[in-house]
Every structure is written in structure tokens, then in C-alpha cells.
Chains A and B, each alone.
Chain A
Amino acid sequence: MARAAGSDHRGGTLRLTAASSGGSLDPQIAYEHENLQLEAPVYDGLMAFPKSAPDRIGDGDRPIPDLADGPPDIRDGGLTYVFHLRRGVRFSNGQEVTVNDVAATMRRIFRVNSPAAGPYFSDLVGAAPCLNGRTDCTLAGGVVADPAAGSVTFHLVRPDPDFLYQLAFPQASIVPADTPGADTGNVAPPGTGPYRIVSYDPDRGLRMERNPYFHAWNPVAQPDGYPDRIQYDFGLEADAEVTAVENGQYDWMLDMPPADRLGELGDRYAARVHLSDMQVVYYMELNVRRPPFDNPAVRRALNDAIDRHAVVIHEGGPALALPLCGMLPRGLMGYDPACAYGRGASADHPAPAWQGPDLDRARALVRASGTAGQAVSIVTQTSPVAIAIAGEVRDVLTALGYRVTTRAITPTVEFSYLQNTGNDVQIGFTGWESDYPAPSSYLHTLFSCDSFHPGSDNSLNMSGLCDPALDAAMRAAALAQMTDPARADALWRQVGRDLMALAPVVPLVQTRRVDVVSARVGHVAISPYHLLLIAQLWVR
């Protein structure tokens, strides 16, 4: 019914604007949010996160079959995944999608040095020799295509509970087997989605038109789009983008509206503003191997003392951020609003939500630790919000009796800087948004022993926490998530509480996104993973 009504809205040109382009269009290379979002209606993988309106998809953060004609047959205790390819699907160049394309795409992920290669597919049999980007990478024994049966079999060296999430990640989008084994840059390889990218100039704009060979095989995984054409222009600053969308010169803007335009948008254009949760968690990482945060009491004291409401205000207020007491964002399996810290809360009796700071208890903890008077250096980013939040933390640490300095580093450098133990960071402000919406991609990635690599810029476990019991609990929760989601949810909640009992971080806030559309736009659909679904917008 909804589709039938929507068919009246098919057609027209959707006009989008962004400050700059998102770089390479190569689906195995593209990593910026901008290109991942705009390529969602261009490419498909064996699995996908739903790309339809949330009212039709229910649980929007679980991977579902896309080019695969059903869920895989998982054998050998999670070491083997057998997929059957959907028949009759064609690329935008008219070529039919075959299992050889799937196998070639998996090899291409390694050949082009995709950012997903090492982190997500290194557990494939035969992946080890491919990880240095060798062009003769064959993944022998790892990905086996059977054209007669129309099946592709993946063999892993060890079970990976997130494997289906990783196959749904856009960098595993299937492209033709003859796609060059190098970054295609400004040229988009043919895809299977309802649109194809017909022109792209990273300095000026991008144009998408309908893929003439597309038919909707699964309206949840990859629905048909509404506009006939999508024109994406680059170059306006966020301030000018707001004005252009308000005036109807563009239908949607990628960038977040500047803080000083929010009041105007809320006052005059509330019906055209759409708020949605982002899966971004901002937090203070505490180095558990350096004083004073090597003392758990100090880490708990800071969790008690930080005023998360103040951080919410720095992030734009309650409309744009919500306080967090754990490291999983709202909307994700295992999310727990309960708070073990702050006023009226304790580890044994968590408050149902953040109630406010408890400075008295924090002072008592610091007094008992005997660390008051020590020097603490906060590392933060150079953005005004990050500096303001670091200032808030500085004031709290000063009130607790420490001698505090703040150092601001450009955001692109800071994230690596915090990771390297050689930099002796004591406490740093940072944020994390996972590539795919699985709890392990937050908790395991950021706090497992596997993620701690001393002396490396690539050590996502910035706190240096290594707790084998916590690691075992995370493995158990991850294994449960594909077979028993309810149990997995409970297990991940417990992992979150165990983690916060160790307090290697101070979770601060989860932010929300503001999408502004023009007056002519209808059917605004926002998915938890793909954000605003641009192909689902009506422009007539």
C-alpha cells in the first residue's frame, strides 16, 4: 500500500549540497560517511543493513540478505558460511551478477588495500598473504565460488560472530569481476542498486541516474528509489547550505547546521527538521597504566564527578545529545541507560538514568587514593566543542585537587596520538563511531586485550585495559548475538556494566543528527545505519 501510494511521487530531480566531496567512489575504498551514504542506493553486498524506511524494517541494525537469496548456511561451528546468490540481478552495465563476481570482489578488497581488508576479513582462509595488497591475491581456500550451484562458500580460520555484519559493510559491495584491481577514484564501478553514478567531479558535483537494469528483489534490503535523478553539488559552507535549503535551492544538506542557526531552524522550519540518533559515543579515555588513572578509585571518582548534563549542553543541548553512562549508543543491542555513577547511583544499585554529578563522593575517593596534587594533562581536539568539553573536565579535575593542563591537537592527528602509548597520554577526549552496528565493534574493539598494541598508532584500546575475564564475556555475548538476540542483549548489558565497574573511560554523550530538507521534500526516512535515505525522498 505504502509503495503504491509512493509511486505517485516517482520522478523529479533531487538536489543535494555538501561543503566538499567524499573522495574516491570506489566502493572498496570509500570510507567517508558522505560516499557511504550516497552509494547505499548504488551498490549491494551479499548482506545489507536495511535501506528502507524504518517503519518497514523494524530492527534496522541487523544485517539481512541482499544479493544472497537467504541467510547463509553456517557450518563447522561458525568456520564456514555458504551463500546462494540471487539469480537474475544485473549490474548497471547489463552484466548479470555471478558468484565469480562475488569471489573477485572479495579478492579485490585485498588487492586495492581496502580499509576493511585487515580489520574485517583477515580471518578468511588464505587472507594472510593478501594483506600486503599483493595483486596475485587469490584467497585460495577462503572464498570458493560454485557457478553450477550458484553458491559462494567462505571459510574462516576462526569463528567470527560479526562476519555477517562485516559482509553488510559497504566495502563488501559486489562489483563486476573485471573491475580494475586499483582504486577507481572518480569513476564508480557498475553496481546493482536502483541508481548509477554517471558523473563525478570532486570539486564540483556528482550526478546519479536510474539504473535501467534494476528491479526490486528485496524492498527492505534495496528498495527502488523515488527521484529520477540525484544532483549533488559541492562547495557551499554549512551556513550557506542552511540558507539554500531554507530557500528551496537545495533539498537536503549533508553538513550539520552551525549552532547559531539551530534556533532559527527550530523556530521557523521545525516541520522540515528531522532529528535522529547517531551511533557516535564521545568519551574521555583514561590511561589505566599511568598515574593517577592507574588507580581505579580515581577513575571512578572522575565518573562520579563529571557533569554529563554540562557536556550535553556543550554538544548543543538535550535535542542534540543525550548523556551516556556506558559505551554502547542508544539503539544498539546491549544499550543500557542505567548509570552506576553520579548522584544516587552505585555499581550495586545503578540509577535508571544519569541523575547528576556526585562531587562529594568523588572527593572522598580521590582523598582515599592519595593522588590529589598530581599533575594531569588533558589531550583534546582543536574544535571549539572539544575544547569546551576538555575545559569542563579540567574544572572537575581541578576541583578534585589535581594540577591540570589542557593540550589541543588537530582532530586528524589526535585520534592516532591518543592511541600510541609512546605519547604517555593520561586522559584524552575522543569519539567513536563503529563501521557496523554490533556491540563488539564498540566494546571488543575499544577494550579487548587484542586491541592493545603498545607503541603503535593503531591501538584502539587507548586506555590500555586488558582484562581476560571481560574478553571472555565479550566473546560469549558475540557468539550469542546471531542465534539468540535476547540473550545476547542481556549478555552485552552485563559486559557494559562490568566494563564500567573497571571504569577505563568516562562515557559522556551520544550525539544526534539534524537533517534539514526543503519544503518540497516528502517521505523523509532515516535508517539507524545509513542515516537519511536519500533515494527514498519524494521531490514531487
Chain B
Amino acid sequence: MTTALTPSSPSVSARASAGPWRTAARVLVRHRGAMVSLAVLALVTVACLLAPVYADDVAHTDPFTSNVAGTVMLDGRQVDIMQPNDNPLHLGLSPIGPTWRMAAYPLGADSQGRDVAARLLYGGRNSLLIAFSAAALCIMVAACVGIVAGYAGGVVDAVLSRMMDIMWAVPVYLFAISLSIVTVSQGLRIGPFTVASDNLLIPICIIALVYVPYAARPVRGRVMTLRRSEFVTAARGLGVPGHRIVLRDILPNVTGTLVVLAPLMTALALMAESALSFLSIGVQAPAASWGTIIQDGEGLIYTRPMVAVAPGLAIIVVVLALNILGDGMRDALDVRDGDRGRG
């Protein structure tokens, strides 16, 4: 009988996990904002995945090589991509502005004569890849740290928590910039393994690392609550090994917290990636990310604002969508907590 009440029991856990998740999914589907956000994210992701199709088959352009001496056909005539300004001395050059035609620099060109639209899509691939990967890695590490600290308590908790406090004390962007400057100049060497400075693993790992304390702290708090719960106490009383309690009783109960954190951490990672790339210490040229494209557009902000505005808007849209989705998921998973509380 006692074992029947333990959530680690296969029969009970199957019933308990199926119900709350289905309920959460139902609530989420009814959350209009979350669904619109999900659609926007899907749309952006698919568009970015189709970047090679746009570059090769629609625009016929290479978004990674300079094309300052190139031309484009507009209204039946060849137009220089980089155009001398129309003043008596022809001082200054401006890249071609948005043409709003899919096949001919719809968002204009940057100062290297590259198609901003193509770079926006390719840049989105890198930005989203880094953001999702860094968030996933961060949450995994944070889950481990939070669960170990929260469940073990005592000295282990003290050591891990102080380490997190130290990391927390350093402003996150300063921390990320410091790590990036070190790694971007000479790559990363760990024993026999070498990661080149332009490898996306570097920004992924750096961003994941700097946000670990932000995710680990709520996980630890949740685990500490769970550790004092009746079913964990009961499992301990029955002599269930600690690692089994963690895997079967604790982890399933912090999953909701982790799931709610995921979109929020992704949004934070996306902004961090953009900031690092804007400072030339994230994604390295000639590869693009939304941050590098904003940097490309910095000097053109008065003459060709679209170069910086387009990736800026993309970041805003994705971050907004992730935050709204995160809110929706939190609402949905709060229902599950409520159900469990009533149960």
C-alpha cells in the first residue's frame, strides 16, 4: 500500500504524469498569445532554414563574400550596388537601399555589397542555433547543479551555491565578454581537443555558462521543497537509494520549472549572442548572426537604416515571442501544480 502512494511507483507515476501534461497542453493551446508566438517562432525558424534556397535559387547571391563592385538588374538596367553619393564631389558611398523585390536586394545591401535579406536568413540560423543550444545546455547544467545542491544540502550545497553566487555577482555581459575575448583570439584548447575561434561551440558554451546561476537557483529552491515532501521522505524511509529518488521522484517534479525556464533562457541567450556578435566576439566573419549584421549596419544607420533595423526587428520579434510563450507555459504548468496540490 505504501509503495502504491509513492510517485516513483510506475503505475502511479504514469497516471500522474500523463494527466498534468495533457492538462497543461490543453491550457497552452487555449492561450492565444502563446499559440501566436509559437507560430511566429516556427515561421522564423523555417524561413531561416530555407536561407540557402533563397540565396541560391531566388536571389542568386553569396551572402558571405564581398560584392562591392557588383551590379544588380533593376527596371531593365544594371545598377551599381555601391553608389557614389549624388553630390558635386561624389563624396561618400552608399550601398543600394531596399528594393522590396524578392530577387534583387529586397532589404538592400550592406557596406560590403552583400544582400541584407540573405544575410538576415543565414544570420538567423546561427543566432537561433546558438540561442536554442545555449539555453538547452544551460538548463541541463543548471538542472544538475540545482538538483545536486538542493538534494544533497550541507557542504555540497554551500560550495555549489557560493560558486553560483560568485558567478551571479559578475555582470552577465561583462562575464561573457571576458570569456569571449580570451577564446575568440586563440580558440579553446582542452587537453587534446581544440575548438577553433570561429566555431559556434564557443559562444554556445560561454552563453550557457554565464546563465547557469540564473537557472540553477530556482531549480535548487524547488528541489529543497521537494526534498522535504512526504513522498521523498517516504522513499527515504523505505531505503530507496538517493540517486533513484533524484531520478524518479525529484527530476520529474522539476521538469515543469525547467520547461518554463526554457523559452526565457532562449530569449536571454539570443540577446547575449547578439550582443557578443555585435562586439565582434561572438559569431566570426564571414559567418553572420543578427548581432553581426547590426554591427555591419552601425555605420549606415543614417543612410541605410534597414541594415541594422531588420536584424533588430528580428531579435525583438523572436524575444517577444519566446517571452509570451514562456508566460503561456508557466500558466499552463501552474495548473498542473495546482492539480497536484489539490490531489
Contacts and interface: CB of A to CB of B under 8 A. Distances in A.
A275 interface: yes
B100 interface: no
A263 B302 CA distance: 10
A314 interface: yes
A502 to B, nearest CB: 27
B57 to A, nearest CB: 21
A266 B93 contact: no
B11 interface: no
A392 B66 contact: yes
A343 to B, nearest CB: 13
B61 interface: no
Interface of B: 65-66, 68-69, 82, 84-85, 87-94, 112-113, 285-286, 299-300, 302-303
Summarize B's interface: helix, strand, loop or mixed. Answer: loop
Contacts of A391: 65-66, 112, 285-286
A310 B90 contact: no
B297 to A, nearest CB: 11
25 contacts: A259-B92, A259-B299, A260-B302, A260-B303, A262-B85, A262-B92, A263-B85, A266-B85, A266-B90, A267-B87, A273-B89, A310-B69, A313-B68, A316-B92, A317-B90, A318-B84, A319-B91, A319-B92, A320-B91, A387-B285, A388-B66, A388-B112, A391-B66, A391-B286, A395-B66
B68 A270 contact: no
B89 A319 contact: yes
Interface centre among B68, B88, B285, by most A CB within 10 Å?
A: B68
B82 A270 contact: no
A410 to B, nearest CB: 12
A266 B88 contact: yes
A265 B302 CA distance: 14
Contacts of A307: 69
A514 interface: yes
B298 to A, nearest CB: 9
Given A260-B302, A270-B87, A316 B66 contact: no
Contacts of B93: 259, 313, 316-317
Contact of A266 (B89, B113, B300): B89
Contacts of B94: 263
B90 A319 contact: yes
A317 B82 contact: yes
A182 to B, nearest CB: 40
Given A263-B303, A318-B84, A320-B91, 11 more contacts: A266-B85, A266-B90, A266-B92, A267-B85, A270-B87, A270-B91, A309-B69, A313-B113, A317-B82, A317-B91, A514-B91
Contacts, number: 76
A320 B84 CA distance: 11
A262 B93 CA distance: 8
B259 to A, nearest CB: 42
B277 to A, nearest CB: 16
A270 B90 CA distance: 9
A388 B65 CA distance: 10
Nearest to A514: B91
A258 to B, nearest CB: 8
Sort A-B residue pairs by CB-CB distance and give the 9 closest, nearest first: A266-B91, A266-B87, A262-B92, A263-B92, A310-B69, A313-B68, A317-B93, A270-B88, A263-B85
Interface in A258-299: 259-260, 262-267, 270, 273, 275
B66 to A, nearest CB: 5
B299 A313 contact: no
Contacts of B302: 260
Interface residues of A, number: 27
A314 B66 CA distance: 10
Interface centre among A263, A307, A395, by most B CB within 10 Å?
A: A263
B135 to A, nearest CB: 32
B128 to A, nearest CB: 25
A66 B84 CA distance: 43
Contacts of A320: 91
Contacts of B82: 313, 317
Contacts of A275: 89
Contacts of B113: 313
Contacts of B85: 262-263, 266-267
B193 to A, nearest CB: 20
Nearest to B70: A310
Contacts of A388: 66, 112
A2 B302 CA distance: 43
Contacts of B286: 391
Contacts of A387: 285
A270 B285 CA distance: 36
B122 to A, nearest CB: 16
Nearest to A262: B92
Interface in A306-353: 307, 309-310, 313-314, 316-320
Contacts of B65: 391, 395
A310 B87 CA distance: 21
A307 B92 CA distance: 20
B88 to A, nearest CB: 4
B84 A265 contact: no
B66 A310 contact: yes
B68 A314 contact: yes
Contact of A263 (B66, B87, B112): B87
Contacts of B88: 266, 270
B84 A317 contact: yes
A270 B89 contact: yes
A263 B301 CA distance: 13
Nearest to A387: B285
Nearest to B303: A263
B90 A313 contact: no
Contacts of B112: 388, 391
A8 to B, nearest CB: 29
Contacts of A310: 66, 68-69
Nearest to A264: B92
Nearest to A274: B89
Nearest to A406: B285
B300 to A, nearest CB: 7
Interface centre among A265, A275, A310, A387, by most B CB within 10 Å?
A: A310
Contacts of A260: 92, 299-300, 302-303
Interface in A391-406: 391-392, 395
A296 B82 CA distance: 33
Nearest to B93: A317
Contacts of B303: 260, 263
B205 to A, nearest CB: 23
Contacts of A262: 85, 91-92
Contacts of A264: 92
B156 to A, nearest CB: 46
Given A263-B87, A266-B87, A388-B112, A317 B66 contact: no
Contacts of B299: 259-260
Interface in A370-403: 387-388, 391-392, 395
A317 B285 CA distance: 23
Contacts of A266: 85, 87-92
A319 B85 CA distance: 10
A319 B86 CA distance: 12
A267 B91 CA distance: 8
A263 B88 CA distance: 10
A275 B87 CA distance: 14
Nearest to B300: A260
Interface centre among B82, B85, B93, B303, by most A CB within 10 Å?
A: B93
B141 to A, nearest CB: 33
